[in-house]
Structure 1
Amino acid sequence: MSQAPLAARMRPEKLEDYAGQGHLLAENKPLRRAITSGQIHSMIFWGPPGVGKTTLAQLIAHHCDAHFITVSAVLAGVKDIRAAVEQAQREKQYGRSTILFIDEVHRFNKAQQDAFLPFVEDGTLIFIGATTENPSFEINNALLSRAQVYQLRALDEAAILGILQRAVSAQGWSAQLEQLQQLALQADGDGRRALNILEIAMDMAEDNILTEACLSAALSDYCRRFDKGGDLFYDQISALHKAVRGSSPDAALYWLTRMLEAGCDPVYVARRLLRMASEDIGNADPRALRVCIDAWDVQERLGSPEGELALAQAACYLACAPKSNAVYTAYKAVKQDIASGGSHEVPIHLRNAPTRLMKEQGYGAEYRYAHDEPNGFAAGENYFPEALQNRKYYHPVDRGLEKKIAEKISHLDTLNAQSPIQRYPRK
């Protein structure tokens, strides 16, 4: 009996048996036409683990009768690339093309890429790369410009169910449809993982019959798909943030729990919730900031599971709170003015005067102490540099506490306009 893993034994040998990726391989799709016509070009397969990147590359080579060389970017060096080029040159002498498949191609450095790029350009090699990372950020432009990027998607449950049924039939095993459907659901879009879990379950089974106990044991250590630095990480953070911003506590809870259950650092989640409290809620409900800090404190003091529950409470609070990005927008506007407007001096009436010399030079001489003014407000005073007088950055929204803040600012603006004392007379 073969000692190769079930996932390796079940690799399809015909394009018709390949599961998923209909958006690329359906009839009349560009990639399908290229394969069937034998006009293969260099390409990069980008997608999550277990969706068939390596298998598709092998099927292309088989369909086109091309010599297939596979290299792992984790282990290979320039020497391995040169050896592959020499093989390709020998095959070319006999009129046969060569496909160089590089797994995890994003791990290649510039020197390794430079070693084979000229041979891609002159037709010695057809390059196919596989990566789980966004090529836009992880692969050099020189390589990107020479290859077409195809994005492979996570497999749906129907595709994974088909893979499992094919494996069960090929191995002579017995399994109930409901068991395979449960496994397809838990595989989380990863065909290889589904086969690995099935193999573990069947190793425990007697008489090649899958039981509920064997399946439960195989699934017990299962972990959801979550890469702590890649696209999936940032996609889920983005979804959490947008659910909070969109006032959907249920969706916010879903994405937060997905991340925590998959192993995301709870402290990172706490930091992001704190950011949401300022960016999307702000002064519409200043308590949101305190709720997030308290949740972070609970997480650090108590850990799991109390900490995660506190984070869930904070996420729900943020989603249900009134929303305002007025402070966030004002902050960005101020940064833009500072970046483009130069460094304006502090007006002399706002400067402190801790020494006699500074007092003699007039520092703070005309400053109006607000507590000594009617209603504690120095109407007509200006706290900007003269060149920026009367700037307005903060525009409170008509929601939550900011509705009251807006009324207060409007009242103060009226007092400023009516004051006979003006620091910088209006032009």
Structure 2
Amino acid sequence: MSRKAPATPPLFAPPEALKPLAERMRPASLDDMVGQRRLLSSGSALRRAVESGRVHSMILWGPPGCGKTTLALLLARYAEAEFVAISAVLSGLPQVREVLAAAEARFAEGRRTVLFVDEVHRFNKTQQDAFLPHIERGSILFVGATTENPSFELNSALLSRCRVHVLESVSVDDIVAALQRALDDGERGLGGQGIEVDAARLRDIAGAADGDVRRALTLLEIAAELAADEGGRITETTLAQVLADRTRRFDKGGEQFYDQISALHKSVRSSNPDGALYWFARMLDGGCDPAYLARRITRMAVEDIGLADPRGLQICVEAWDTYDRLGSPEGDLALAQAVIYLASTAKSNAGYVAFKAAQADVREAGTLDVPLHLRNAPTKLMKSLGYGSGYQYDHDAPEGIALGQTAFPEAMGERVYYRPVERGLEIKLKEKLDRLRASREQARGEG
């Protein structure tokens, strides 16, 4: 049987009017939460656990403003447990030990503690290990919140004791619903203040919030304050002031960064210039260093375009040079054009695959001798030892190629690393190399 979330206001709580709108409108029950339908839908495992008060230690992984803190608060309310919050940004190991000692004392008295650790990925391994025995004994219900991939940022011992729940960015429609609720609520929200705003302007605010409910409510609160001096109506002009400096989510060193550069690279590889251009623009908009993008774009040219179109590398190097000369924003266009060209032209990773195969043979075969006919023979002694003996000068051979000599150490025999694809310039290269390889095979057989 599910239980209702009991009202447990903290002692000495500041007057509601002094709290930001986003804090005042924080959901008081699971039904009040917007978004997270997959995780908190009726009958879901997590919802059943929360409503029954049988919660478990967990990691909440999701973008800012998606409801991680709110969910942790609701866990404590439904479980009738003490809620204690610390931030890994502000707290050190001494404070962590104090909090854990207090939780142990409550546990001895038969009371539970939900310990919410915000930005848990910022704790180092030693700090993360401090929670382990307390989680095992059950003296705390550990709830860690992170915007970073837990598999990269949290140690395996902590992960093995917690269940990871993935929260999603909140949709525009859900954020609009949260904004409307704040406008209608006369007790906690803006209801009764005479604020008027049409549906289009609400969607503008929701879109600018970029999936972050807390940010959306903050933008609405600022817009309402400005509108109070203009008759109470939030207009397009009002929002122009509020949304002037909006930015999209982008973490220059985190998972979002690597997800987006991966999306850019894979869009180029799949010959989708429109998608590639979108991700390029997204990364620039988020503050990515264009010099980093220039380097990665040049890598795409050698890895995925290769010899199918050697002009790709040339265009990338020239675009990089142009950016170095002009800087942003003028140089950004040169890089954008390089992205478009790479995504639009012929693709081949044959050179990349060939180089990797050659490297593998070098590692496995060890230090093999250079064949005598390929060795340099600058002295009489070297010539007397056979250095250079039997070498055929290619320019003297028919068609300028000496077919009867190998280029590999004798212990290896011939190898074929480079296999051109039938795209772009490599069509011609394949025709020539197939003919030469067949001729060499024939010459070795006759020899």
Into which bin does the TM-score normalised by the smaller protein fall?
over 0.9
- For 1:115, which of 122, 130, 133 is the aligned residue? 130
The root-mean-square deviation of aligned C-alpha atoms, in Å, is 1.7
The secondary structure found in structure 2 opposite 1:398 is coil
Instruction: Indicate conservation of the 8 Å contact 2:114/2:141, yes or no.
Output: yes
Residues in 2 aligned to 1:327 and 1:314: alpha-carbon distance in whole angstroms: 20
Q: Does 1:215 align with 2:239?
A: yes
The structural deviation recorded for 1:81 is 1.5
- Kindly provide the CA deviation profile for residues 342-375 of structure 1, in whole angstroms up to 9, marking residues without a partner as x: 2322223222234444333332233222222222
The structural deviation recorded for 1:3 is 3.5
Instruction: Indicate conservation of the 8 Å contact 1:379/1:421, yes or no.
Output: no
Residues in 1 aligned to 2:253 and 2:36: alpha-carbon distance in whole angstroms: 25
Q: Which runs of 5+ in 1 are unaligned?
A: none
The secondary structure found in structure 2 opposite 1:129 is strand
Paired residue for 1:11?
26
Amino acid at match of 2:294: A
Paired residue for 1:402?
426
Q: Does 1:125 align with 2:149?
A: no
Instruction: Indicate conservation of the 8 Å contact 1:380/1:421, yes or no.
Output: no
- For 2:190, which of 171, 184, 188 is the aligned residue? 171
Residues in 2 aligned to 1:36 and 1:390: alpha-carbon distance in whole angstroms: 69
Amino acid at match of 1:35: V
Amino acid at match of 1:19: V
Q: Call closer, same or farther: CA 1:355–1:99 in 2, change over 3 Å.
A: farther
Q: For 1:4-403, what aligned pairs fall within 5 Å after superposition?
A: 4-169=19-184, 170-172=189-191, 173-205=195-227, 206=229, 207-403=231-427
The secondary structure found in structure 2 opposite 1:158 is helix
Return structure 1 stretches of 4+ with deviation > 4 angstroms.
none
Instruction: Indicate conservation of the 8 Å contact 2:52/2:78, yes or no.
Output: no
Amino acid at match of 1:156: S
The structural deviation recorded for 1:6 is 2.4
- Kindly provide the CA deviation profile for residues 122-165 of structure 1, in whole angstroms up to 9, marking residues without a partner as x: 11111000011111111001101100001111111111111111
The secondary structure found in structure 2 opposite 1:150 is strand
The secondary structure found in structure 2 opposite 1:223 is coil
Instruction: Indicate conservation of the 8 Å contact 1:48/1:153, yes or no.
Output: yes
Higher mean alpha-carbon deviation, 93-102 vs 349-358, is at: 349-358
The structural deviation recorded for 1:53 is 0.8
- Kindly provide the CA deviation profile for residues 48-86 of structure 1, in whole angstroms up to 9, marking residues without a partner as x: 111111111111111211101111011111211121122
Residues in 1 aligned to 2:440 and 2:401: alpha-carbon distance in whole angstroms: 9
TM-score in terms of structure 1 length: 0.95
Residues in 2 aligned to 1:135 and 1:107: alpha-carbon distance in whole angstroms: 11
Q: Call closer, same or farther: CA 1:136–1:420 in 2, change over 3 Å.
A: closer
The secondary structure found in structure 2 opposite 1:349 is helix
The secondary structure found in structure 1 opposite 2:142 is strand
Amino acid at match of 2:222: I
The structural deviation recorded for 1:318 is 0.7
The structural deviation recorded for 1:304 is 1.6
Q: Call closer, same or farther: CA 1:384–1:64 in 2, change over 3 Å.
A: same
Higher mean alpha-carbon deviation, 88-97 vs 17-26, is at: 88-97
TM-score in terms of structure 2 length: 0.91
Q: Which runs of 5+ in 2 are unaligned?
A: 1-15
Residues in 2 aligned to 1:343 and 1:191: alpha-carbon distance in whole angstroms: 62
Residues in 2 aligned to 1:361 and 1:168: alpha-carbon distance in whole angstroms: 94
Residues in 1 aligned to 2:378 and 2:78: alpha-carbon distance in whole angstroms: 84
Q: Call closer, same or farther: CA 1:420–1:20 in 2, change over 3 Å.
A: closer
